[in-house]
Structures are given as C-alpha cells and as structure tokens.
C-alpha cells in the first residue's frame, strides 16, 4: 500500500517541500519552532520582520524574550516561544559556535526543539532521512491505513518507517503533510478530489454509512430514531465497538439516528487526531 500511496501523491503534488519561508538553517529552525500548533501561513507573516530585527543566531542570542515577543504575538503560545527562541539561540552560540547542529541528537538538546522539530530541521536543512509526524501526517496515515490505529505520533512514525523505504522518508513526510493540509483535511475531507480512495479505510467506512432519509419532520423533534420510529430532542450517547462516541436514542439506545432537518445519519466514522 505504501508504494501506491507515495506513487499517487507524487503525481498530485509535483513539489513536495516545506511551505515555511527561510534562507538558511537559522531561519528554518526559528520558523519550525514558531510553527508548533500554528499554520505555516501565519508563521510566514511574522518571520520577515523578526529576521530583519534579528538577522542571525548571534543577534537572537543577545535578545531578551521580551524583545522577541512583539514580533511573534500573532502566533500560538508566543510567550513560551519567545523564551524558547532566546534560550535556543544562546545555547547554539555557547555550545555550537553559532552554527545550527545537523544531527537529531544535537538538535534535541536545544530548548524548544522536540523530536518532530529536530527531524524537520535535520531533514530540510541537512538532508537527513527523517519522517517527522505532525497532526496532518498522523491523521492521513491513520485514515488511509498506513498506520494501524497508531495512538501517538511516535507509534505512527515507527509504522511509517517500516512501510516506506528510508530514501523516501523525507519526501513522504512532505507528501503526507500537503495531502492532509489541502485534500485530506481534518474537517470535510475532499474525498472527491483524492487519488487514494481505492485503498483508504476512512473512505471505505464513509461509503458504508446509511443513505439520507427523506420526508422527516423537524417539527416533531430534532432527531429521528429509525429503530423505534419516533422523534426526540435530547439525544443520549453511546460508544460503538470502534471506540467512537455516537448519538443514541434516549429510549432504546439505538444508534440508528438521523437529523430530522437534513435527513442525514448522525453516525460518525472513527477519525484520528493527535492527542
């Protein structure tokens, strides 16, 4: 399956690369730290002024977090990230002679740099074969079935590295991220535009959902239980055999429930998020 996925995504994504804007390893590591739980688009909006004020690692190492904060206020967790950036820069200057280290082990000693950030920097800046798992990779890998219900990013990473040849790790990382960002989105994935539906477990599950019901009466209640043929406003909930919480009928416990206004089933397919 992995070879098919990579082959199809290569056709759909001709330039699989990071969307963060940078010119050297210093700018890259700063951008990646800022991108944690934040969009690349937002990071790219703040880094030009940040790099104009702090053009290199030595300039950043002399800054107090309070001097960095005004430039990154619009990203997520700016207070924490300003402290991480200042501490990271000082350590690079003090222990690595002002040069961003190129190995995973060294990168992970830096403040604000975890496993994912280290792998991104090592892969993009230093051509190290790596397969970091962010929220997009986590979601896509689990949805398709490349990862067998991996519960953590590390578990998914290990499964992907077994399925994908090492020489394709870095490219595979970017392919899966971009596919997740623009096609296999967290909400309302664009399955109609996806070239992987033939092998996708998530898509297969969607096709098994009941068809919408016509002729329901919203005035009788917000929900309709097909099992007991009655309406209700306040639903119960139950966890199905896949571990997904579903809307349930308060009288009989059936999960065969529909929204009366739209006629659409309330059943949800199991989905995946980074915990």
> What is the spatial distance between Cα 200 and Cα 1, in angstroms, rounded to a whole number?
10
* Strand 236-239 relative to strand 223-225, pairing: unpaired
The domains of the chain, with CATH numbers, are 1-208 (1.10.340.30), 211-275 (no CATH)
Q: Are 154 and 124 in contact (CB under 8 A)?
A: no
- CA-to-CA separations, 272 to 64, 214, 238, 251, in angstroms, rounded: 39, 31, 18, 30
Residue 229 annotated to the active site? no
Per the residue annotation, which of 91, 97, 116, 198 is the catalytic one?
A: 116
Per the residue annotation, which of 81, 134, 222, 229 is the catalytic one?
A: 134
- pTM for this structure? 0.86
> What is the spatial distance between Cα 96 and Cα 5, in angstroms, rounded to a whole number?
39
Of 133, 60, 52, 129, the residue nearest 100 (C-alpha): 60
Residue 97 annotated to the active site? no
Model pLDDT, residue 142: 93
Q: Which long-range contacts (CB under 8 A, 24 or more apart) does 187-192 make?
A: 189/143
Residues 6+ apart with CB under 8 A from 177: 134, 136, 137
Model pLDDT, residue 273: 66
| Average pLDDT score over the chain | 95
Which tokens hold the place of 117? 């950030």
Model pLDDT, residue 275: 47
Model pLDDT, residue 274: 57
Model pLDDT, residue 242: 82
Low-confidence ranges of the chain (pLDDT < 70): 273-275
Using CB atoms within 10 Å of the CB of residue 202, give its burial: 0 to 12 exposed, 13 to 18 middle, 19+ buried. Answer: buried
Kindly state the helix (H) or strand (E) to which residue 104 belongs, with its residue range: helix 104-107
């Amino acid at each position: 399956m992995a070879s098919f996925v990579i082959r199809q995504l290569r056709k759909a994504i001709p330039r699989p690369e990071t969307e963060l804007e940078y010119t050297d390893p210093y700018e890259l590591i700063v951008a990646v730290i800022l991108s944690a739980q934040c969009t690349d688009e937002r990071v790219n909006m703040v880094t030009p002024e940040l790099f104009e004020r702090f053009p290199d690692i030595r300039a950043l190492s002399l800054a107090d977090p309070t001097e960095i904060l005004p430039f990154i206020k619009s990203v997520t967790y700016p207070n924490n990230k300003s402290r991480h950036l200042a501490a990271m820069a000082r350590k690079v200057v003090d222990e690595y002679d002002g040069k961003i280290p190129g190995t995973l082990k060294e990168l992970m000693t830096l403040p604000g740099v975890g496993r994912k950030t280290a792998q991104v920097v090592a892969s993009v800046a230093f051509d190290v074969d790596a397969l970091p798992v962010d929220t997009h990779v986590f979601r896509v890998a689990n949805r398709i079935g490349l990862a067998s219900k991996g519960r953590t990013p590390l578990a998914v990473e290990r499964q992907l590295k077994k399925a994908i040849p090492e020489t394709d790790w870095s490219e595979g990382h970017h392919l899966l991220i971009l596919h997740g960002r623009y096609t296999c989105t967290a909400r309302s994935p664009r399955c109609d535009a996806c070239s992987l539906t033939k092998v996708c477990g998530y898509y297969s599950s969607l096709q098994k959902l009941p068809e919408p019901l016509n002729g329901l009466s919203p005035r009788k209640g917000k929900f309709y239980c097909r099992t007991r043929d009655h309406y209700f406003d306040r639903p119960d909930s139950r966890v199905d055999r896949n571990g997904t919480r579903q809307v349930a009928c308060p009288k009989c416990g059936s999960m065969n429930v529909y929204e009366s206004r739209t006629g659409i089933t309330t059943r949800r397919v199991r989905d995946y998020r980074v915990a």
